[in-house]
Structure 1
């Protein structure tokens, strides 16, 4: 019998001072049995960084044909393709053919090795690549509950997350294609 995903619900009060975007978000997220809580929280933070009414979580790990997040137009063209993790070059290349904008958010302790090995090829593609502070993501993930209310403020290259505990998660942009 296959394992079922664990469902998490987040209510997020978002203040993105970089984009002057303020919103109240309700997210129901399925944690795939093979996914870590750190990866799930990296998906949530990528969602906050790109929040818009059209941005959606996809089936993620359950469907290899879809990114973690995407934003589609009314005619079903993909405006934004957002991957979380360290995707292979071929996957990023495919994404750049299918979407107008591609963003990658690396999040774990192996991200620097992935970047060193892949940057030569990835620099040839029109993709924006970011890397979250892996220790901060792990600390945030250690305090996750199945239902949470969070306040997320984005300023500069920092996300300040307040819930039952407070965390700061920083990120670095490794390649900017904006």
Structure 2
């Protein structure tokens, strides 16, 4: 018998002072049986960083040809492809060919450093690729308080993100390894 996905509901109120984007999103996140809570929280954080009315969660782990998040143009072309973790160079080459902008959000601490040391030289040739590192502590903080139904306020200012709920304030400043963070665009 197949194990079903675990459903999480999140209300995310975003006040992005850097991009002048202000909206509330009612999100449904389906946690694949093999997905960790850390990766689930990284998807939520990625949504907050790149929030847009057309940003959507991809099929992720259940379809290896899709990103964790994507934004399509009105003509259904992929404008933004967001992957999490440490994707291989072949996957990113394909993504960079299919999308206007590709973002990798790494959240694995030392494992992310090792991946970057090995992959950096090959990835630098992709002009439409951005690689961000989220502090491992931020994801761990979110994971520690995750609930199946939650409300979050997100404030982004000067490249720093604050996620606030009734239990905690999580602060994360994405470190840009390559490309540029959306707030700088």
TM-score by length of 2: 0.93
Q: Which residue of 1 aligns with 2:171?
A: 168
Asked whether 1:97 is paired with 2:100, we answer no
SS in 2 for 1:71: strand
Gaps of 5+ in 1: none
Asked whether 1:114 is paired with 2:148, we answer no
TM-score by length of 1: 0.96
Correspondence list, 1:50-89, <5 A? 50-89=50-89
- What per-residue deviation string (whole Å, max 9, x for no partner) do you get for residues 69-90 of structure 1? 1111122211111111110000
C-alpha distance in 1 between matches for 2:170 and 2:80: 27
Q: Are the counterparts in 2 of residues 58 and 69 from structure 1 also a CA contact under 8 Å?
A: yes
Gaps of 5+ in 2: none
Q: Which residue of 2 aligns with 1:130?
A: 132
| Residue 158 of structure 1: how far off its partner (Å) | 1.8
Question: CA RMSD, aligned part only?
Answer: 1.1
Q: Are the counterparts in 1 of residues 18 and 159 from structure 2 also a CA contact under 8 Å?
A: no
- What per-residue deviation string (whole Å, max 9, x for no partner) do you get for residues 65-114 of structure 1? 10011111122211111111110000000000000111110011211111
Q: Which residue of 1 aligns with 2:7?
A: 7
Q: Which residue of 2 aligns with 1:146?
A: 148
Which shifted more, 165-174 or 80-89? Answer: 165-174
| Residue 132 of structure 1: how far off its partner (Å) | 0.2
- What per-residue deviation string (whole Å, max 9, x for no partner) do you get for residues 9-53 of structure 1? 000111111101111111000011111111111111111111111
C-alpha distance in 2 between matches for 1:158 and 1:108: 19
| Residue 166 of structure 1: how far off its partner (Å) | 1.5
C-alpha distance in 2 between matches for 1:69 and 1:108: 18
Which stretches of structure 1, 4 residues or longer, exceed 4 Å deviation after superposition? none
SS in 2 for 1:140: helix
C-alpha distance in 1 between matches for 2:31 and 2:159: 26
Correspondence list, 1:27-66, <5 A? 27-66=27-66
